[in-house]
Structure 1
């Protein structure tokens, strides 16, 4: 059955992979991104619809949901994927991280998920129900003193996911909600983190990444496709009784930490 799908932060990386996976299955997909040029290019290349969106802005959410309801007549799947690690040069530990960086990370990574769920749920319920998948991180499952705000923001997403799942169940909305926790996909964000941590340890970014890869129980980084496959499954009828769950795709990283 064809569904209407919304993926935030869908212009590149994991978001782009999720968009492509749903399109392969014949679904109607809309992607949003704060980078209008990249989003428009991704839409042209994939065949998805596109809306420019700042996910931290409530008015932007209202406009996107209204437009999808008007153009597609409903919404069945919401993937809250957009996120940020913060300013690339900003300190990340709790003592030195700038307060404005903390606030922006919380706005983009956490408040956006609240806003997305808040405004998508009524349209999804009217459409007969569906599934929400919130992209969190393994940084929410282990302490991350070198990424204090990012880890905290994703931990909040995990907790919010369970609250949304229980709310939707009790309200009879027929909407499931789960969180996916990517481990280490070599997106631009992770590459930048590896460069920074490598420099702090007197190593190049690639050398630090290789050392880190060898520490993973399955000795491998993950691929965008691994994340997209799980998101696609959680949104499908094959996962019809899975809700309120947090699932890591991390080559065993959490097990070893």
Structure 2
């Protein structure tokens, strides 16, 4: 018999090989879900899939900027499970760079990975989410969709796009009678493998700006994602959950 908040449900997480995505996949699996993990890094993806609790999970190589990859991935999910209950559009990428030193190619890459990917995932997963009868989309935005920072121009623009695209998805699903909710989550500074690459000086500088005085753990962001995807949030739709240790409250 299914157990946990997500027993019997099928969950797809993009950018699932490491960091927040991997923590989210583990959290869903521990709550009874069957998780489809998607990432472009196949080696890291396999390690994460193999370490998940429970059975039936799988990994799919997915370039989130490729519509052909999305179509193929949804075909695999449909053949294996026949439906999709939760889509977590987590995959993203950014770098600190002055807006005036950003080439058009660099701009387009940030927009493609962070924003185009959410559009492609939402559109191509919708038929399977409708089959769920109570589908849920959780999109990864950022505090940088709410407040800008020096060097965050393209990233802020992309994540702000995710923020409003999520709201548009929610109201269009409701207007069309589709049983699918959509919400966004907005993390602050998180202690991930990517953040460690910036060096301890940069990490300390970030900590000093957070009222709680520390970086978030990936599991803390995952907890917010699971809440938005769960039945406990059945009347939460088209809104945003900020998980930032008080950063945007200052």
**What is the TM-score normalised by the length of structure 2?**
0.92
- Which stretch of structure 1 is more off in the superposition, 91-100 or 135-144? 91-100
Return the offset for 1:186.
1.6
Residue aligned with 1:19, SS: helix
Return the offset for 1:97.
1.1
Match of 1:232 among 226, 233, 243: 226
8 Å contact 2:82–2:128 — kept in the other structure?
Answer: no
Match of 1:144 among 137, 146, 149: 149
Following the alignment from structure 1 to structure 2, what is the Cα–Cα distance between the partners of residues 165 and 217?
32
Match of 1:8 among 11, 14, 21: 14
Instruction: Name stretches of at least 5 consecutive residues in structure 1 with no aligned partner.
Output: 196-204
Instruction: Name stretches of at least 5 consecutive residues in structure 2 with no aligned partner.
Output: 1-6
Return the offset for 1:145.
3.0
Which residue matches 1:177? 182
Return the offset for 1:143.
1.4
| Cα RMSD, aligned residues only | 1.3
1:63 aligned onto 2:72: yes
1:114 aligned onto 2:119: yes
Which residue matches 1:20? 26
Which residue matches 1:199? none
**What is the TM-score normalised by the length of structure 1?**
0.90
1:38 aligned onto 2:47: no
8 Å contact 1:5–1:27 — kept in the other structure?
Answer: yes
8 Å contact 1:85–1:189 — kept in the other structure?
Answer: no
Runs of 4+ with deviation above 6 angstroms: none
* Equivalences, count: 241
Following the alignment from structure 2 to structure 1, what is the Cα–Cα distance between the partners of residues 51 and 129?
27
Following the alignment from structure 1 to structure 2, what is the Cα–Cα distance between the partners of residues 212 and 145?
13
CA displacement, residues 33-76 of structure 1 (integer Å, 9 cap, x when unaligned): 01111112211222531000100000000010111011011100
